[in-house]
A and B are shown apart, each in its own frame.
Chain A
Amino acid sequence: DTAVSQTPKYLVTQMGNDKSIKCEQNLGHDTMYWYKQDSKKFLKIMFSYNNKELIINETVPNRFSPKSPDKAHLNLHINSLELGDSAVYFCASSLNPGTGELFFGEGSRLTVL
Protein backbone atom coordinates (compact mmCIF):
# COMPACT_ATOMS: atom_id res chain seq x y z
CA ASP A 1 0.00 0.00 0.00
CA THR A 2 1.98 2.97 -1.33
CA ALA A 3 2.23 5.89 1.10
CA VAL A 4 2.84 8.65 -1.46
CA SER A 5 1.78 7.80 -4.97
CA GLN A 6 2.23 9.83 -8.13
CA THR A 7 0.74 9.42 -11.57
CA PRO A 8 1.85 9.17 -14.24
CA LYS A 9 5.29 7.69 -13.63
CA TYR A 10 6.42 8.66 -17.13
CA LEU A 11 5.16 11.46 -19.32
CA VAL A 12 6.43 12.34 -22.80
CA THR A 13 4.91 15.36 -24.52
CA GLN A 14 5.52 18.12 -27.05
CA MET A 15 6.55 21.68 -26.34
CA GLY A 16 3.61 23.97 -25.81
CA ASN A 17 1.30 21.31 -24.40
CA ASP A 18 -0.37 21.42 -20.98
CA LYS A 19 0.01 18.47 -18.63
CA SER A 20 -0.78 17.47 -15.05
CA ILE A 21 0.85 15.21 -12.50
CA LYS A 22 -1.24 13.90 -9.64
CA CYS A 23 -0.13 13.03 -6.12
CA GLU A 24 -1.95 11.32 -3.29
CA GLN A 25 -0.80 10.39 0.21
CA ASN A 26 -2.53 7.95 2.56
CA LEU A 27 -0.46 8.78 5.63
CA GLY A 28 -2.88 11.28 7.10
CA HIS A 29 -0.27 14.02 6.80
CA ASP A 30 -1.16 17.70 6.78
CA THR A 31 1.63 18.93 4.50
CA MET A 32 2.54 18.13 0.92
CA TYR A 33 5.33 19.26 -1.39
CA TRP A 34 6.53 19.28 -4.96
CA TYR A 35 10.24 18.98 -5.71
CA LYS A 36 11.97 19.08 -9.09
CA GLN A 37 15.11 17.07 -9.87
CA ASP A 38 16.88 18.23 -13.00
CA SER A 39 19.34 16.43 -15.24
CA LYS A 40 22.22 17.31 -12.93
CA LYS A 41 20.34 15.57 -10.10
CA PHE A 42 19.76 18.72 -8.03
CA LEU A 43 16.56 18.47 -6.00
CA LYS A 44 14.77 21.80 -5.56
CA ILE A 45 11.62 22.57 -3.67
CA MET A 46 8.89 24.16 -5.73
CA PHE A 47 5.79 24.35 -3.53
CA SER A 48 4.50 23.36 -0.13
CA TYR A 49 0.89 23.13 1.00
CA ASN A 50 -0.46 22.70 4.50
CA ASN A 51 -4.09 21.68 4.86
CA LYS A 52 -4.80 22.84 1.30
CA GLU A 53 -3.16 26.22 1.86
CA LEU A 54 -0.02 27.32 0.00
CA ILE A 55 2.80 28.03 2.46
CA ILE A 56 5.95 27.83 0.33
CA ASN A 57 6.18 29.10 -3.24
CA GLU A 58 9.70 29.18 -4.59
CA THR A 59 10.67 31.16 -7.67
CA VAL A 60 8.75 29.02 -10.11
CA PRO A 61 7.30 30.25 -13.44
CA ASN A 62 3.59 31.05 -13.43
CA ARG A 63 3.12 28.21 -15.90
CA PHE A 64 3.32 25.89 -12.89
CA SER A 65 0.13 25.82 -10.87
CA PRO A 66 -0.32 23.50 -7.91
CA LYS A 67 -3.77 22.57 -6.71
CA SER A 68 -4.74 20.87 -3.47
CA PRO A 69 -8.39 19.75 -3.48
CA ASP A 70 -7.95 18.22 -0.03
CA LYS A 71 -5.03 17.60 2.28
CA ALA A 72 -4.40 14.14 0.86
CA HIS A 73 -3.93 15.37 -2.70
CA LEU A 74 -1.57 17.82 -4.36
CA ASN A 75 -1.61 18.04 -8.13
CA LEU A 76 0.78 19.93 -10.38
CA HIS A 77 -0.44 21.47 -13.60
CA ILE A 78 2.06 22.81 -16.11
CA ASN A 79 1.01 25.07 -18.98
CA SER A 80 2.87 25.73 -22.21
CA LEU A 81 5.57 23.15 -21.56
CA GLU A 82 9.16 24.06 -22.44
CA LEU A 83 12.23 21.91 -23.04
CA GLY A 84 13.68 23.05 -19.71
CA ASP A 85 10.72 21.57 -17.85
CA SER A 86 12.09 18.10 -18.57
CA ALA A 87 12.91 16.65 -15.16
CA VAL A 88 11.78 14.21 -12.52
CA TYR A 89 9.09 15.69 -10.29
CA PHE A 90 8.77 14.32 -6.78
CA CYS A 91 5.80 14.69 -4.53
CA ALA A 92 6.31 14.40 -0.77
CA SER A 93 4.34 14.69 2.43
CA SER A 94 5.07 15.33 6.09
CA LEU A 95 3.09 15.14 9.29
CA ASN A 96 3.14 18.91 9.64
CA PRO A 97 5.02 21.83 8.10
CA GLY A 98 7.40 22.14 11.04
CA THR A 99 9.22 18.87 10.43
CA GLY A 100 11.88 18.00 7.89
CA GLU A 101 10.96 14.32 7.88
CA LEU A 102 9.41 13.98 4.45
CA PHE A 103 8.02 10.92 2.72
CA PHE A 104 8.68 11.05 -1.01
CA GLY A 105 6.88 9.42 -3.88
CA GLU A 106 8.67 7.49 -6.62
CA GLY A 107 8.78 10.43 -8.97
CA SER A 108 7.25 11.36 -12.33
CA ARG A 109 9.69 11.66 -15.21
CA LEU A 110 8.57 14.39 -17.61
CA THR A 111 10.20 14.58 -21.03
CA VAL A 112 9.38 17.55 -23.26
CA LEU A 113 10.29 17.12 -26.93
Chain B
Amino acid sequence: DAKTTQPPSMDCAEGRAANLPCNHSTISGNEYVYWYRQIHSQGPQYIIHGLKNNETNEMASLIITEDRKSSTLILPHATLRDTAVYYCIVRVGSGNTGKLIFGQGTTLQVKP
Protein backbone atom coordinates (compact mmCIF):
# COMPACT_ATOMS: atom_id res chain seq x y z
CA ASP B 1 0.00 0.00 0.00
CA ALA B 2 1.07 3.53 -0.73
CA LYS B 3 2.33 5.48 2.28
CA THR B 4 1.01 8.78 0.95
CA THR B 5 -2.30 10.62 0.94
CA GLN B 6 -3.14 13.27 -1.64
CA PRO B 7 -6.29 15.22 -2.55
CA PRO B 8 -7.92 13.54 -5.55
CA SER B 9 -8.13 16.72 -7.61
CA MET B 10 -7.12 20.38 -7.75
CA ASP B 11 -7.57 23.30 -10.09
CA CYS B 12 -5.05 26.02 -10.84
CA ALA B 13 -5.19 29.13 -13.01
CA GLU B 14 -2.68 29.33 -15.83
CA GLY B 15 0.36 31.40 -14.85
CA ARG B 16 -0.24 30.93 -11.14
CA ALA B 17 1.71 28.71 -8.78
CA ALA B 18 0.29 25.23 -8.25
CA ASN B 19 0.83 23.89 -4.74
CA LEU B 20 0.18 20.17 -4.43
CA PRO B 21 0.10 18.79 -0.88
CA CYS B 22 0.98 15.29 0.26
CA ASN B 23 0.81 13.57 3.65
CA HIS B 24 3.24 10.78 4.51
CA SER B 25 2.99 10.52 8.26
CA THR B 26 4.42 6.98 8.46
CA ILE B 27 7.57 7.75 6.48
CA SER B 28 10.73 6.20 7.88
CA GLY B 29 13.94 8.13 8.48
CA ASN B 30 15.76 6.89 5.39
CA GLU B 31 12.87 6.89 2.94
CA TYR B 32 12.86 9.46 0.18
CA VAL B 33 9.86 11.36 -1.16
CA TYR B 34 9.49 11.29 -4.95
CA TRP B 35 7.12 13.17 -7.21
CA TYR B 36 6.08 11.98 -10.64
CA ARG B 37 3.41 13.12 -13.04
CA GLN B 38 1.48 11.32 -15.74
CA ILE B 39 0.07 13.28 -18.61
CA HIS B 40 -2.88 11.58 -20.28
CA SER B 41 -1.91 8.48 -22.28
CA GLN B 42 1.79 8.88 -21.52
CA GLY B 43 4.20 7.16 -19.18
CA PRO B 44 4.94 8.64 -15.76
CA GLN B 45 7.59 11.36 -15.71
CA TYR B 46 9.99 11.98 -12.85
CA ILE B 47 9.80 15.49 -11.39
CA ILE B 48 11.85 15.76 -8.21
CA HIS B 49 12.76 13.99 -4.99
CA GLY B 50 14.05 14.78 -1.52
CA LEU B 51 14.87 13.39 1.89
CA LYS B 52 14.92 16.24 4.41
CA ASN B 53 15.93 19.45 2.71
CA ASN B 54 13.89 21.48 0.29
CA GLU B 55 14.80 20.85 -3.31
CA THR B 56 14.44 22.82 -6.55
CA ASN B 57 15.05 21.98 -10.17
CA GLU B 58 13.96 23.35 -13.52
CA MET B 59 10.53 21.78 -13.22
CA ALA B 60 9.46 22.35 -9.64
CA SER B 61 10.27 22.90 -5.98
CA LEU B 62 9.76 20.40 -3.19
CA ILE B 63 9.11 21.61 0.33
CA ILE B 64 9.37 18.95 3.06
CA THR B 65 8.23 19.76 6.58
CA GLU B 66 10.77 19.48 9.38
CA ASP B 67 9.05 16.40 10.83
CA ARG B 68 8.94 14.91 7.30
CA LYS B 69 5.29 13.96 7.70
CA SER B 70 4.17 16.04 4.75
CA SER B 71 5.47 17.78 1.66
CA THR B 72 4.33 20.19 -1.04
CA LEU B 73 5.22 20.20 -4.70
CA ILE B 74 5.24 23.68 -6.20
CA LEU B 75 4.96 24.38 -9.90
CA PRO B 76 5.86 28.08 -9.93
CA HIS B 77 4.05 29.14 -13.10
CA ALA B 78 1.57 26.50 -14.18
CA THR B 79 0.81 26.13 -17.88
CA LEU B 80 -1.92 24.19 -19.64
CA ARG B 81 0.66 21.51 -20.41
CA ASP B 82 1.05 20.89 -16.68
CA THR B 83 -2.42 19.34 -16.56
CA ALA B 84 -1.73 15.79 -15.37
CA VAL B 85 -2.01 13.34 -12.50
CA TYR B 86 0.68 14.10 -9.92
CA TYR B 87 1.93 11.27 -7.74
CA CYS B 88 3.62 11.74 -4.40
CA ILE B 89 5.54 8.57 -3.58
CA VAL B 90 7.55 7.33 -0.65
CA ARG B 91 10.22 4.95 -1.88
CA VAL B 92 9.86 2.02 0.48
CA GLY B 93 12.71 -0.29 1.34
CA SER B 94 16.31 0.59 0.74
CA GLY B 95 19.16 -0.10 -1.58
CA ASN B 96 18.61 -2.48 -4.44
CA THR B 97 15.20 -3.66 -3.31
CA GLY B 98 13.65 -0.24 -2.76
CA LYS B 99 10.36 0.27 -4.60
CA LEU B 100 8.16 3.13 -5.76
CA ILE B 101 4.62 2.43 -4.57
CA PHE B 102 2.24 4.67 -6.50
CA GLY B 103 -0.97 5.90 -4.88
CA GLN B 104 -4.00 7.47 -6.53
CA GLY B 105 -2.35 10.84 -7.10
CA THR B 106 -3.83 14.30 -7.55
CA THR B 107 -5.39 15.25 -10.86
CA LEU B 108 -4.29 18.82 -11.50
CA GLN B 109 -6.37 20.77 -13.98
CA VAL B 110 -4.73 23.99 -15.16
CA LYS B 111 -7.34 26.37 -16.50
CA PRO B 112 -6.93 29.35 -18.84
Contact = CB atoms under 8 A, between A and B. Distances in A.
Interface of A: 4, 41-45, 48, 50, 55-56, 90, 92, 97-98, 100-107
Query: Which of under 10, 10 to 19, 20 to 34, or 35 or more describes the interface residues of B?
Result: 20 to 34
Contacts of B102: 42-44
Interface of B: 32, 34, 41-46, 49, 85, 87, 89, 91, 95-102, 104-105
Contacts, number: 53
A100 B96 contact: no
21 contacts: A41-B105, A42-B104, A50-B96, A55-B96, A55-B97, A90-B43, A90-B44, A92-B44, A97-B96, A97-B97, A98-B95, A98-B96, A98-B98, A100-B89, A100-B91, A100-B98, A102-B46, A102-B100, A104-B44, A104-B45, A107-B42
